């Protein structure tokens, strides 16, 4: 009943988004192109498609061959304007996702700016920042002020777009017809066993794949659970004998896959879910510890995500019992079948060819000067 009342607002929102896109399509609103390869990674829904792991996948793929930079707005940071993120930055300055990426890949340039055009201009002009060979625009599918050479659109396999509605009644940021702007569409969080050849054809039809678009499927691959603060590693028995009770704590969008994965290792599980990008308070810690202490098991731990771990590390005066019990679950993107090779080749070729063209153009300009 409540959702039904929101449909008029979704209709008005849809009209506004439609005309905004139309103004860009007709070139009344201008988009800016930069002299550097740009790859945009985003979604058409609000949160929960796995953007950060896919940005990390691209960073891992590109970092050994090219100078890589990322640019995001730094959602929920407490600062304004352009900022280069350092490994010593804190989550309030940078935002949790940019800081997570920087700590994982300290050799790449990570920047934040709520105005992406300004952010690109300042990044490329800054003498203290290495000139990037490629810029990864995080959460930028709706950001049409910058022209990207490759637009990657992520869709959560578990939340079909055809069953969703525009904001605020649903979670769609814009109409599904705007998927046409993507060069690459990736269905994320796929259960490999369910993505059969028949299902692939169904999904290809569902997104109305165009001749210029490519479709890929990824799943999450979880790594070895590790302590957030200095502490003891879990013994191999943890993964084999269900020796521990687990309290799962998350502040991310749609974390349903994590409890499903972890329950195979636990003799008991509990789950506390906070909103996405949630900044934890002392009351939250008390709530977590109250539930943790009620678990009747001699061996018990708290498991959170890498993104949450970044935020927990910023909290002063954390209870030592909480710190010793807190572990995080690393996650990586894995392409289904052999699709990763095709995806990697497309990305590497795009960056390599554009880097060569830029260098040739610069040499020609110098010779003519």
pLDDT band at 47 (very low <50, low <70, confident <90, very high): confident
pLDDT at 364: 59
CATH 3.40.50.300 domain extents, the chain: 2-66+133-221+334-356
Q: Is the pLDDT of residue 168 over 80?
A: yes
Is 361 a residue whose pLDDT tops 60?
Answer: no
Q: What is the pLDDT of residue 1?
A: 53
What percent of the chain stands above pLDDT 70? Answer: 96
Percent of the chain's residues with pLDDT above 90:
86
The stretch 90-109 carries a mean pLDDT of 96
- 359 alpha-carbon distance from chain centroid: 31
pLDDT value of residue 134: 97
Q: Would you say how long the chain is, in residues?
A: 369
Q: What is the mean pLDDT of residues 80-95?
A: 96
Residue 366, pLDDT above cutoff 60: no
Picking from 289, 217, 211, 215, the residue whose alpha carbon sits closest to that of residue 247 is 289
Whole-angstrom distance, CA of residue 277 vs CA of residue 236 = 31
Least confident of 51-60, 281-290, 350-359: 350-359
Q: Work out the average pLDDT over 290-299.
A: 94
pLDDT digits (tens, 9 = 90+) for 192-251: 999 999 999 999 999 999 999 999 999 999 999 999 998 788 988 899 889 999 999 999
pLDDT at residue 334, rounded to an integer: 97
* Rounded mean pLDDT, 271-294: 96
- Which pLDDT value is given to residue 3? 78
Q: What is the mean pLDDT of residues 319-347?
A: 95
Mean confidence (pLDDT) of the chain: 93
Q: Among 123, 139, 122, which Cα is nearest to 131's?
A: 123
What is the pLDDT confidence band of residue 64, given thresholds at 50, 70 and 90? Answer: very high
CATH label, 226-329, candidates 2.60.40, 1.20.58, 3.40.50, 3.30.200: 3.40.50
> Does the pLDDT of residue 31 top 90, yes or no?
yes
pLDDT of the residue at 236: 85
d(CA 260, CA 189): 12
User: Residue 232 has what pLDDT?
Assistant: 80
Q: For the chain, give the secondary structure using H, E and C.
A: CHHHHHHHHHHHHHHHHHHHHHHHHCCCCCCECCCCCEEEEEECECCCCCHHHHHHHHHHHHCCCCCEEEEECCCCCCCCCCEEECCCCCHHHHCHHHHHHHHHCCCCEEEECCCHHHHHHHHHHCCCCCCCCEEEEECCCCCCCECCCEEEEEEECCCCHHHCCECCCCCECCCHHHHHHCCEEEEECCCHHHCCHHHHHHHHHHCCCCCCCEEEEEEEEECCCEECCCCCCCCCHHHHHCCEEEEEEECCCCCCHHHHHHHHHEEEEEEEECCCCCCCCHHHHHHHHHHHHCCCCCCEEEEEEHHHHHHHCCCCCCCHHHHHHEEEECEEEEECCCHHHHHHHHHHHHHHHHHHHHHHHHHHHHHHC
pLDDT in tens, 143-155: 999 999 999 999 9
User: Looking at the domain that runs over 2-66+133-221+334-356, which CATH code has it been given?
Assistant: 3.40.50.300
pLDDT, residue 25, reads 96
Is the pLDDT at 325 greater than 70? The verdict is yes
What pLDDT does 362 receive? Answer: 62
């Amino acid at each position: 009943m409540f959702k039904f009342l929101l449909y008029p607002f979704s209709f008005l929102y849809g009209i506004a988004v439609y005309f905004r896109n139309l103004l860009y399509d007709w070139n009344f609103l201008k988009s800016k192109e930069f002299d550097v390869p740009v790859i945009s990674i985003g979604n058409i829904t609000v949160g929960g498609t796995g953007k950060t792991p896919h940005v990390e996948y691209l960073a891992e793929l590109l970092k050994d061959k090219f100078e890589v930079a990322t640019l995001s707005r730094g959602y929920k940071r407490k600062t304004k304007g352009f900022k280069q993120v350092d490994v010593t930055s804190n989550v309030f300055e940078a935002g949790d996702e940019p800081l997570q990426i920087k700590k994982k890949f300290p050799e790449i340039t990570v920047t934040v700016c709520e105005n992406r055009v300004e952010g690109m201009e300042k990044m490329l002009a800054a003498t203290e920042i290495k000139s990037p060979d490629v810029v990864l625009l995080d959460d930028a599918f709706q950001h049409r002020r910058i022209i990207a050479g490759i637009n990657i659109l992520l869709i959560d396999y578990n939340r079909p777009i055809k069953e969703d509605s525009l904001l605020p009644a649903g979670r769609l940021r814009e109409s599904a017809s705007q998927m046409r702007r993507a060069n690459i569409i990736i269905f994320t969080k796929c259960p490999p066993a369910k993505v059969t050849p028949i299902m692939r054809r169904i999904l290809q039809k569902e997104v109305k794949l165009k001749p210029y678009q490519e479709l890929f499927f990824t799943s999450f691959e979880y790594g070895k659970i590790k302590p957030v603060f200095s502490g003891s590693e879990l013994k191999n028995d943890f993964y084999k004998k269900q020796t521990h009770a687990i309290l799962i704590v998350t502040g991310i969008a749609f974390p349903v896959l994590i409890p499903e994965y972890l329950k195979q290792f636990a003799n008991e599980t509990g789950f506390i879910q906070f909103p996405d990008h949630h900044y934890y308070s002392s009351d939250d810690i008390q709530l977590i510890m109250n539930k943790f202490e009620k678990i009747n098991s001699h061996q018990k731990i708290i498991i959170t995500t890498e993104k949450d771990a970044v935020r927990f590390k910023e909290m002063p005066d954390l209870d030592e019992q909480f710190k010793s019990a807190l572990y995080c679950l690393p996650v990586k993107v894995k392409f289904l079948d052999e699709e990763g090779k095709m995806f990697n080749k497309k990305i590497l070729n795009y960056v390599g060819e554009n880097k060569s063209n830029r260098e040739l153009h610069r040499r020609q300009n110098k010779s003519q000067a």
